[in-house]
Amino acid sequence: MNLEFDKKHIWHPYSSATNPAPVFAVDRAEGSSIYLEDGRVLIDGMSSWWCAIHGYNHPVLNQAIKDQTDKMAHMMFGGLTHEPAISLCEKLIKLTPEALQKVFLCDAGSVSVEVAIKMALQYWQAKGKSNKNRLLSLRRGYHGDTFAAMSVCDPDTGMHHIFNDVLMPNYFTEAPRCGFDEVWHDDYIHDFKQQITTHQAELAAVILEPIVQGAGGMRFYSPEFLKHVRALCNEHNVLLIVDEIATGFGRTGKLFGCNHANISPDIMCLGKSLTGGYMTLAATLCTEDIAETISNGEAGVFMHGPTFMGNPLACAVANASIDVLLNSTWQENTKRIETELRTGLAPARQLEQVHDVRTLGAIGVIELKQPVDIKVVQALFVEAGIWIRPFGKLVYTMPAFTISQAELQTLCNKIVSVVAKF
Ligand SMILES: *Cc1c(COP(=O)(O)O)cnc(C)c1O
């Protein structure tokens, strides 16, 4: 592979064009193994950022794509429909909380967040309350890189000041302080209550990641917080958008993050593992009330329609991925992974450079005291034979649900031994 060309001409995520960090050339992948071009094999600890929940190169998912390719790879969704989209939307409506009855298919997670925000704005507009056009979100949250999505990400880590003049001026409340298993105190909801009470006349919706705040800090919080948020949104006439793009499809040990609190949102965003990491696809679901109100409003329609909406290949592989998941013992697998991560990462607690170690479902996090130098540490993980991609102070793993016990043990041992070198 021409890595010189890559270095000279290709942007990678959050990369510098003049001083890029080295990238490693991948030839192929299978299960939880990533085969580098130079012959090295890495145990994958990232699932390609939450996505590849069944591992790579899965025969059932491969076959679904091949079969659909022979029928049609793409078809415009305006005025036409097809079986892969219909059966996918049936599944999504069945699996998510009952109140969610309408599905909008999008092409990426950030777009599904844009769509969710647009739904909330069009809803209040249709109700004659167009001044309800701001969002309330949590500090340390992450919702994507497009503009509306960026405007609800943590203002500091999202570097809002760079885009200050064009971002929607939204409101932020403190990141949840109550850990997943911690005893609840009403004080933990105080700031949220204050914000929603003060700004309710302007608020279209609250948007948050349920139970796990992902890319903004890998923080786990109490289901009690989510229950209080749901109640306060009802009380103050504000919609609730849950961004399940990272938490959806079993990652936290429940099918969806909001299942931990038994709450039902008004709008839900899905993405990432929706296709088992095969293709880019996302979905925004909403209630009957929102759909009807928008459709009775001035526009008479919902104002969005991406070119690749409902792409048949993506829908076909999403159908296959959901079937594989539901036919598997994913609850046992995520429990097994949680137990193994808890034991396997525990020795890191003794290290002086480590601030905290936490696990939930198939997610393990080591929070360091100092941010890492990615250029240095990335090479150390690869030399150790594992694929881990830290950011800031966080070294974290969310392996495929199918990772073997032996692979997982090696992964944990190597993570701890590399962290010990920092
Ligand atoms: C990754 C992510 C997004 C953005 O999805 P993209 O597919 O990268 O656009 C939004 N919200 C959450 C919680 C995510 O983890």
The residue ranges of every structural domain in the chain are 3-57+329-419, 72-326
**Confidence band for 302, pLDDT divided at 50, 70 and 90:** very high
Q: Write down the CATH superfamily of domain 3-57+329-419.
A: Aspartate Aminotransferase, domain 1 (3.90.1150.10)
Closest protein CA for atom 15 of ligand 1: 246
**Quick one: average pLDDT of 243-267?**
98
The catalytic site residues sit at: 14, 142, 243, 272
**Confidence band for 157, pLDDT divided at 50, 70 and 90:** confident
Ligand 1 mean position, distance from CA 363 (Å): 16
HSE-up (13 A, CA, CB side) for residue 111: 17
The finding on whether 325 has its CB within 6 A of some atom of ligand 1 is no
**Quick one: average pLDDT of 146-162?**
93
The finding on whether 209 has its CB within 6 A of some atom of ligand 1 is yes
Q: The domain 72-326 is classified under which CATH number: 3.40.50.300, 3.40.30.10, 3.40.50.1220, 3.40.640.10?
A: 3.40.640.10
Query: Comparing C-alpha atoms, which of 362, 109, 108, 137 is closest to residue 255?
Result: 362
Task: Assess whether pLDDT exceeds 90 at residue 64.
Answer: yes
Q: Are the folds of 3-57+329-419 and 72-326 the same?
A: no
Please say whether the beta carbons of 104 and 302 come within 8 A. yes
* Cβ-proximal residues to 339 (8 Å cutoff; 6+ apart), any chain: none
**Quick one: average pLDDT of 145-174?**
94
| Between residues 375 and 356, the one the model is more confident about | 356
- For residue 78, the model assigns a pLDDT of 98
The finding on whether 143 has its CB within 6 A of some atom of ligand 1 is yes
- For residue 65, the model assigns a pLDDT of 98
**Confidence band for 62, pLDDT divided at 50, 70 and 90:** very high
Start-end of H helices in 26-155: 47-50, 59-71, 83-95, 109-126, 147-150
**Quick one: average pLDDT of 274-295?**
98
**Confidence band for 101, pLDDT divided at 50, 70 and 90:** very high
Query: Comparing C-alpha atoms, which of 12, 322, 13, 313 is closest to residue 144?
Result: 13
**Quick one: average pLDDT of 79-106?**
98
Task: Assess whether pLDDT exceeds 90 at residue 159.
Answer: no
Task: Assess whether pLDDT exceeds 90 at residue 193.
Answer: yes
Q: Which residues pair with 212 in a beta bridge?
A: 220
Task: Assess whether pLDDT exceeds 90 at residue 158.
Answer: no
pLDDT for 213-234, tens place per residue? 999 999 999 999 999 999 999 9
Ligand 1 mean position, distance from CA 150 (Å): 11
Ligand 1 mean position, distance from CA 151 (Å): 14
- For residue 355, the model assigns a pLDDT of 98
Ligand 1 mean position, distance from CA 379 (Å): 26
Index of the ligand 1 atom closest to the CA of residue 113: 10
Index of the ligand 1 atom closest to the CA of residue 282: 7
The finding on whether 113 has its CB within 6 A of some atom of ligand 1 is yes
**Quick one: average pLDDT of 398-422?**
98
**Quick one: average pLDDT of 295-306?**
96
Closest protein CA for atom 6 of ligand 1: 109
Strands (E), 107-187: 134-138, 171-173
Return the CA Rg of the chain: 21
Task: Assess whether pLDDT exceeds 90 at residue 160.
Answer: no
